[in-house]
Structure 1
């Protein structure tokens, strides 16, 4: 995520108490309120881009104005410390009522019983507005422990002037590039001081695994909590192509030392004709790119399909909250098309509901490839590794160094397979 850090909001201690976080994860019974009873709910959020912070504040303010007996107060959370803060809050029975997180982070909290089962508290029309594949990413043991909001995909950003000069046509949603086509066009665009393609792969695991779903690479199978790992040609397709591109210099050599957004300055300067990044960087490009810089987001690259990991941002309710029904009502309000569209546009991410996506499409028009990007919501699929207890540790301590060595040419495909497999087993 990128953008200017918003001014710090007032930090309030969680105002909830309750039965604690048992192992069952059942929803507490909805509380029955007297007509004049006042309810205070805390809402922890890591929204930090200026437009998203404002959208969040506007949603809370309009809710509070319309619901004088159910008041919501924002807790501002550093996006880099969401998980650790929640661990502390749950342990101290001071968790916020409403929790902004992401699907990949809630697996442990869900299985430990810290998050309420929202299955019976989500309005039927909201359930219908979100694709089932996205609901699957927030469902544990048959229980929905979060409402998905906005999602990221990895997409190619292209300098359209450089593509036009090289005679490379911009692909359409109906005829997206395959990975091989992207490679071929990157070769055409590599000339003079320009590399055809760059991808900030200093931390490569998330991007490689998400895009590997486009080749049906699922990595893990079996039990949701303790699955087994499987590395086949499907899981090796993306890293093998990236290594080939590094070797033939159609991909910038410095890609492996850069973070996800470090490529943008070179993109603006014509050093890279195309860059792969999370679609959220569109906000930064809009704010930073020099006048006259022409760019677009391309449709998702295609392997055997265009699938990518469904790891949406989420809103959950703490199981220890006294007021789960009222917290769920606020979440449903947050998910209204106007509200969710404002959040999505602020972060340049994809709203997971069709009404919100339709509204964003109306607001942004055809600019910068947004129609194809909004359509990518249909390509999001549940990533089985996100529900594995060992995934965070494996990603950090085994997968990332293994991919780094592979892309640097220090190990081959067999070596990569061994390191990924051995790391998972350990």
Structure 2
């Protein structure tokens, strides 16, 4: 408790140092907006929009506070407990459940204008809905795609998939094998953090993993539909030799040097990795974006969009919601999406011509937007512990060949349900 109290005090002092007086003495309101933007284009876009707001809202000043994806959960928890949370909070939808159920975030249903609520599809709102309330505005999202060596694929003569005619998971495995040989691999799976990638891609095969009963309790199952994606990865690595075992412990960026060097034909990555590829690829390197394989549910896959929330303790919830509405006007949402190389959730923003160009394959990603659904774990209390203590080590061992499918199922289900049960008493 002493450690937590000290952390709360330190974070409170830091956040206070980043903010100015709330202006209550002269009637001017100051809102703190904590952004997690990190790419320079994205940081610039966010700061420019804050400046544009401040230029026309002299009585409600927004102060930009830089946060970090690496530490946001613990930092927010500390600031909530210390009573020093920022008014407007940038996060991801899969990080909101405990904050929403814990009473740290404001319910936004009555605060948001109808324009914004109707512009974002219901499937996106579901990612930030917990119980009967909405606790975040989903605004940026990205599908997982295959980034491919275009020259390699063309020379091989394999069929090139499109959003209208994608590969099946069986076809993907066969083609990865066909592209392999002589020390080269058809695919590199960067699965340092394997859980969300596996669960989100498994929606294409009908996999769900988490099942909510009539009593509201969530349990883990690992059915035939849940097996397809992990079995494909396992067999590519351990049976076919078409996927490199060394990349299993890598993050996405770690695979790029090998990809550029001609070691891997394809790498499954988030759509936003295109920016790194544009910046880092050797001159003349030809690459293209392909849709992820499709299963019984087509190209459906889970996503955890970036979100904007309002702190429950904020004394200026109405003004904070108005700033969010400004930030997410269609033209502004496009600017944020372009800055992060991601897709906007808003239907009007998605129509923007800048998101439908063949340059950098924007059009391929935009064509997948309608297939994105709430990630399976979005509203599951206890998911972070299940992921860290049960699922991550189990998937890592299975993908490396250390355990078989039956042992994977046993750990995910038996050990997993013991973890979730503690959160549902």
Same fold (TM over 0.5): yes
8 Å CA contact 1:158, 1:298 repeated in 2: yes
8 Å CA contact 2:188, 2:255 repeated in 1: yes
Over the residues paired in the alignment, what is the CA RMSD in angstroms?
2.1
Residues 1:243 and 2:234 aligned together:
yes
Q: CA deviation at 1:319?
A: 0.7
Q: CA deviation at 1:404?
A: 1.3
SS of 1:42's partner is strand
SS of 2:367's partner is helix
SS of 2:377's partner is helix
Tell me how far apart the structure 2 counterparts of residues 17 and 127 of structure 1 sit (CA, whole Å): 32
**Cα pair distance change 1:76/1:168, threshold 3 Å:** same
Question: 1:27: which partner in 2?
Answer: none
1:322-356 residue CA offsets vs partner (Å, 9 max, x unmatched):
11111001001111122211221222111111222
Residues 1:341 and 2:331 aligned together:
no
Q: CA deviation at 1:188?
A: 2.0
**Cα pair distance change 1:405/1:103, threshold 3 Å:** same
Residues 1:151 and 2:132 aligned together:
no
Tell me how far apart the structure 1 counterparts of residues 137 and 174 of structure 2 sit (CA, whole Å): 40
8 Å CA contact 1:16, 1:320 repeated in 2: no
Question: 2:98: which partner in 1?
Answer: 108
1:176-199 residue CA offsets vs partner (Å, 9 max, x unmatched):
111122112212211333211111
8 Å CA contact 1:17, 1:320 repeated in 2: no
Residues 1:324 and 2:317 aligned together:
yes
8 Å CA contact 1:200, 1:260 repeated in 2: yes
Q: CA deviation at 1:254?
A: 1.5
Mind listing any 5+ residue stretches in structure 1 that lack a counterpart?
Answer: 1-10, 19-32
8 Å CA contact 2:268, 2:292 repeated in 1: no
1:234-253 residue CA offsets vs partner (Å, 9 max, x unmatched):
11110101111112111122
The structure 1 segments of at least 4 consecutive aligned residues displaced by more than 3 Å after TM superposition are 14-18, 223-226
Residues 1:350 and 2:343 aligned together:
yes
2:388 alignment partner, one of 388, 396, 402: 396
Tell me how far apart the structure 2 counterparts of residues 330 and 348 of structure 1 sit (CA, whole Å): 23
**Cα pair distance change 1:350/1:225, threshold 3 Å:** farther
Alignment of 1:24-423 (within 5 A): 37-222=27-212, 226-246=217-237, 247-304=239-296, 305-359=298-352, 361-362=353-354, 365-423=357-415
Tell me how far apart the structure 1 counterparts of residues 289 and 376 of structure 2 sit (CA, whole Å): 27
8 Å CA contact 1:16, 1:97 repeated in 2: no
8 Å CA contact 1:219, 1:231 repeated in 2: yes
8 Å CA contact 1:171, 1:177 repeated in 2: yes
Tell me how far apart the structure 2 counterparts of residues 92 and 179 of structure 1 sit (CA, whole Å): 48
8 Å CA contact 2:192, 2:250 repeated in 1: yes
SS of 1:386's partner is coil
Q: CA deviation at 1:383?
A: 2.7
TM-score normalised to the size of structure 2? 0.90
TM-score normalised to the size of structure 1? 0.90
**Cα pair distance change 1:152/1:363, threshold 3 Å:** closer
Q: CA deviation at 1:110?
A: 0.4
Mind listing any 5+ residue stretches in structure 2 that lack a counterpart?
Answer: 1-13, 419-425
Q: CA deviation at 1:410?
A: 2.0
SS of 2:288's partner is strand
Q: CA deviation at 1:54?
A: 0.3
Q: CA deviation at 1:37?
A: 3.0
8 Å CA contact 2:201, 2:302 repeated in 1: yes
Question: 2:5: which partner in 1?
Answer: none
Q: CA deviation at 1:294?
A: 1.1
Tell me how far apart the structure 2 counterparts of residues 172 and 212 of structure 1 sit (CA, whole Å): 19
8 Å CA contact 1:261, 1:277 repeated in 2: no
8 Å CA contact 2:394, 2:412 repeated in 1: yes
Q: CA deviation at 1:310?
A: 2.8
